[in-house]
Amino acid sequence: MKIDTSMLTFNGMFFWQIYSLFISLGFIASFFVSYGLPTVTLPLPLWTIPAWGYYFVWTVIYSLLGVLFYIGYKKDPYYYFSFLSIISIILHVVWTFSFFVYESVITSFIFIITQLLVTIWQMIYIFKYSKILSVVIGLYLIWIIYLTSINSYLLKTV
């Protein structure tokens, strides 16, 4: 079986524009975390990673999301995957802001559940075009489930 590597060529200005946009969004999200996490007054669960861990995780996740967006853009003839990716990234940034800065547990829970559903739909939708891309989105889904568990824990304490 021959593997198609034509979608993995990351040359051209469009890729670097998309990648830069996603890295910038990751920086914004990291800023919200660094601003909000040290002053969080909510009783965080024991499985919450330390504040410094979010910088690494956010950088990796947003870099990965930029690459996934580009590959999905190339593979999906209807660009529906790209639309879902944009919705997902907006939800992630808004969740980060509402959770870490405003400490609004109920609002952030609504955003994270919506993002969870969008990510599941992304994974299901892209499966017909790229099984590998679907699996990689599944890894991102694990992160969203982790964030949902933290938010759910705090929802019980409100």
Torsions phi, psi for 5 (to 5 deg): -105, 5
Share of the chain above pLDDT 90, in %: 26
Helix (H) or strand (E) holding 76, with range, is none
Give the chain's length: 158
- pLDDT of 119 > 90? The answer is yes
- pLDDT of 145 > 80? The answer is yes
Better-scored residue on pLDDT, 61 or 39: 61
Look-up: residue for tokens 């992630």? 92
Better-scored residue on pLDDT, 27 or 123: 123
Torsions phi, psi for 46 (to 5 deg): -65, -25
What pLDDT does 45 receive? Answer: 85
Report the candidate in 146, 154, 91, 150 with the shortest Cα–Cα distance to residue 118: 91
| Average pLDDT of span 100-125 | 93
- Within 13 Å of residue 96, how many CA atoms lie on the same side as its CB? 21
What pLDDT does 37 receive? Answer: 57
Non-local CB neighbours of 158 within 8 Å, separated by 6+ positions: 105, 106
What pLDDT does 22 receive? Answer: 73
- Within 13 Å of residue 128, how many CA atoms lie on the same side as its CB? 8
